[in-house]
Structure 1
Amino acid sequence: FVQDQISLFGGKVHVTPGLKYLYAKTYDEDQIGFFYPITGAVFDSEHFVAPTLGINWRPIRHVSLYAAWGENMKFPNIGAYYGNIGQTNALGQYVVVPLNVKPEYVRDFEVGARYEAHGFEGSLNGYRENFTNTFISVTNPVTLVSTTTNGGRSTYMGIELDAQQTLHTADYGDFSIFGNVSLNKAYFSSSFNYFGTQVNPGMPLANVPRHLANLGVGWKRGSWRANINLHYASSQYLNQLTSGLASAVTIPGYAVTNLGIRDTLDLGMGMLKNVKIALHIDNVFNRHYDVTGFEYTTFTGMPYSSVLMEEPRAYFASATFDF
């Protein structure tokens, strides 16, 4: 990874070009067992040169305008290899099918504006991510083997508003109020067909909430730190397990509250400088909600949803020593 920062026009403009080289070699070898009727191996190697470019311009005091562009890739994970060992051919023989899934490529654009003054920080930005070779996990209706395949182009786009106000007090420490809200949309942007399933532009992608929001309060005084925040996610489509596409079934939106508090104790014991004692409480009000899931059908053809539920209220304590 190589990156540089170029300052222009007396520091009002900063240009940040970057270049990253990615390489991955994945190998899966399995023996005869419960899941595999034959011994076999599947492997692949991929590489990519990923460029990035960012520009930040401060036209007037307290205001910054920025834009960023970049390209990247995602390698197929190991799960994309599992279903290729032990498939059956037209003669009913077990075979190892060569891997045919390609990496997923993305081109990202982002533009926005920031304002900072008198303890206030705010930003408004929009983004668009164009994917090719979109990964889809599908189940072959003939062999009933699940595998990962490429599904044409898709697009993620949205806007986000972020704000934070810091208040300083002499007696009670510093308080900050922060929040953000975003509007997101994810959909297929090309037509393609696989296993008899037709996909058309505009069809939604699953597991992407249309609205996200966070609201919180932070506090610090001396060595103490504390924060409480509320996270909200709106409803989202579930994937259909067999087709790998978004079904008509959605899970409802949810809101969850988390709390954290921390203190740093100065030990002054030679090399041992201090210790940070922290307590975190997730899902403070023990809300029940569904995080994600998929739609499937019973052997009689009746649809049902299988969901992953939330973690109940959880407490985490930690001690971090600094030397």
Structure 2
Amino acid sequence: FASYLGRDRETGEHLNSIPALKGVLGVGYGFEQFGGELFASKASSDSIGEDSCPAPPYTGRFYNCNFLHSNQSDMPDVDGTTLGLFLQDEIALADGKVRITPGIRYDWYRQTPQETPGFTDNVTYTGLPDESSDSAFSPKLRGEWDMGPGVTLFAQWAQAFRAPTASELYLSYGGPGTYLRLGDPALEPETSNGFEIGAKLGDETFGGSINGFYNRYKNFIDAVSVTPAEVGIPAGTYPMGITQTLNRDSVEIYGAEAMVYYKQELGWHGFASFASYLGRDRETGEHLNSIPALKGVLGVGYGFEQFGGDLILTGVAARNKVENDLSKTPGYGLVDVTGWWAPEALQGAKLKAGVYNLLDTTYYDALDIPDSATLPKEY
């Protein structure tokens, strides 16, 4: 609000240069972070070449022709567009010792399949699938409290949105007499509510962190072994198994992570970390094959001005809580040795090298094993 009066004291005239009474009402807010991204993509999966295979079906000495798929596409060409916008701000209280960070994100996507000659020649072709598109707002809220020197407690709630990829929607790879990998054009986007609580400890030289989390998913996107009847295919057509990407109605994933470190600019340094996760389908009670086994890592090293090295020990527990017995894996331990050299003559350059799995241990990565009874863990 502003009010002014001005006049000539000799004549009594009011001055033209004086502004009128004025009031202003406004509301606004300045945000610490905002931004977005827009991506356009084109996805295709083609096999182009020459072979000596006769016309199908392939049997006898031509059986391996089932795997070639020459001059075919395993999915239609897919034009994709994704848009993401986010807004968040940190609000400081109690002289900055308490910080509240609200935020929100908007996501939108569209995947549009295009028919091609290679796709219509696919032996699994049944027609052009539908377009997939959706959007969602995902809010979040994070709080931090500097409890004391080198101790920060935090908690967060966040919603998330994940759009299905082109291959998750439209892939159709397989040949009769072998195996089949299918997408699902009717996939819904994956959404989740996540809760996390933890602490950050220490400083740049010595410290660590510990946290626990719980995530609840709706329409969780997962690759699952299915029966021929479930996808409308005659039994025996794909004896090596059928895998399809689908939505699980309700899934929970929870776990804990911890790490500690000690580092100096020169001299000794070390670190240790631990991670444990569990995930299951809340409708069926099945444990998910996409969840890694419990894992611990211990590392120690020494650094000089121009060179240094590390010894890293990794231990992974057996994974027994899985969807089926085929996906169980034994525990294992690995030893890695790494080194680096920063030539004085090449400012800013650093050469790194390592010997990984020094003891040549045989092990199975729980996230990279076959899930069909016809395929062994070893080749």
TM-score, normalised with respect to structure 2? 0.62
* TM-fit CA distance, 1:159: 1.8
**1:180 has 2:273 as partner:** yes
- The equivalent residue for 2:152 is 64
- The equivalent residue for 1:247 is 324
- The equivalent residue for 1:91 is none
- The equivalent residue for 1:313 is none
CA 1:85–1:176 in structure 2 vs 1: closer, same or farther (change >3 Å)?
A: closer
CA 1:118–1:280 in structure 2 vs 1: closer, same or farther (change >3 Å)?
A: closer
Separation of aligned partners in 1, 2:137 and 2:191: 11
**1:296 has 2:379 as partner:** no
Are the equivalent residues in 1 in contact too, given 2:124–2:172 (CA < 8 A)?
no
* TM-fit CA distance, 1:156: 1.0
CA 1:26–1:259 in structure 2 vs 1: closer, same or farther (change >3 Å)?
A: farther
Separation of aligned partners in 1, 2:324 and 2:311: 35
Are the equivalent residues in 2 in contact too, given 1:209–1:233 (CA < 8 A)?
no
CA 1:107–1:53 in structure 2 vs 1: closer, same or farther (change >3 Å)?
A: same
SS at match of 2:168: helix
Separation of aligned partners in 2, 1:2 and 1:118: 30
- The equivalent residue for 2:89 is 4
Are the equivalent residues in 1 in contact too, given 2:262–2:271 (CA < 8 A)?
yes
Separation of aligned partners in 2, 1:62 and 1:286: 41
Alignment of 1:193-204 (within 5 A): 199=284, 202-204=285-287
* TM-fit CA distance, 1:8: 1.6
- The equivalent residue for 1:46 is 134
Gaps of 5+ in 1: 87-96, 192-198, 240-245, 299-304, 310-323
- The equivalent residue for 1:286 is 360
Separation of aligned partners in 2, 1:98 and 1:108: 26
1:259 to 337, 352, 360: 337
Task: Give 1 or 2 for the bigger CA radius of gyration.
Answer: 2
TM-score, normalised with respect to structure 1? 0.72
Alignment of 1:1-323 (within 5 A): 1-29=86-114, 30=116, 31-37=119-125, 40-82=128-170, 99-116=185-202, 119-138=205-224, 139-142=226-229, 143-144=232-233, 146-166=243-263, 173-189=266-282, 191=283, 199=284, 202-237=285-320, 246-249=323-326, 250-267=328-345, 273-291=347-365, 292-298=368-374, 306-307=376-377
Moved more, 139-148 or 213-222: 139-148
Q: Percent identity, please.
A: 21
Separation of aligned partners in 2, 1:16 and 1:280: 41
* TM-fit CA distance, 1:266: 4.4
* TM-fit CA distance, 1:234: 1.8
Separation of aligned partners in 2, 1:247 and 1:228: 36
Greater share of helix: 2
- The equivalent residue for 1:242 is none
Aligned-pair RMSD on alpha carbons? 3.1
Counterpart of 1:261, as a letter, is G
Separation of aligned partners in 2, 1:221 and 1:51: 46
Separation of aligned partners in 2, 1:117 and 1:176: 14
CA 1:290–1:85 in structure 2 vs 1: closer, same or farther (change >3 Å)?
A: closer
What do the CA deviations read for 1:82-129 (whole angstroms, capped 9, x no partner)? 36799xxxxxxxxxx993210111211111123216943132211111
Separation of aligned partners in 2, 1:146 and 1:264: 48
Are the equivalent residues in 2 in contact too, given 1:262–1:278 (CA < 8 A)?
yes
Are the equivalent residues in 2 in contact too, given 1:177–1:216 (CA < 8 A)?
yes
* TM-fit CA distance, 1:259: 3.0
Separation of aligned partners in 2, 1:24 and 1:297: 36
How many aligned positions are there?
269
Counterpart of 1:135, as a letter, is I
CA 1:41–1:10 in structure 2 vs 1: closer, same or farther (change >3 Å)?
A: same
SS at match of 1:290: coil
Greater share of strand: 1
Are the equivalent residues in 1 in contact too, given 2:337–2:358 (CA < 8 A)?
yes
Are the equivalent residues in 1 in contact too, given 2:340–2:353 (CA < 8 A)?
yes
Are the equivalent residues in 1 in contact too, given 2:129–2:170 (CA < 8 A)?
no
Are the equivalent residues in 2 in contact too, given 1:131–1:153 (CA < 8 A)?
yes
* TM-fit CA distance, 1:164: 1.7
Are the equivalent residues in 1 in contact too, given 2:170–2:184 (CA < 8 A)?
no
Separation of aligned partners in 1, 2:155 and 2:314: 27
Are the equivalent residues in 2 in contact too, given 1:238–1:293 (CA < 8 A)?
no
CA 1:101–1:255 in structure 2 vs 1: closer, same or farther (change >3 Å)?
A: same
Gaps of 5+ in 2: 1-85, 175-182, 234-241
Are the equivalent residues in 1 in contact too, given 2:129–2:185 (CA < 8 A)?
no
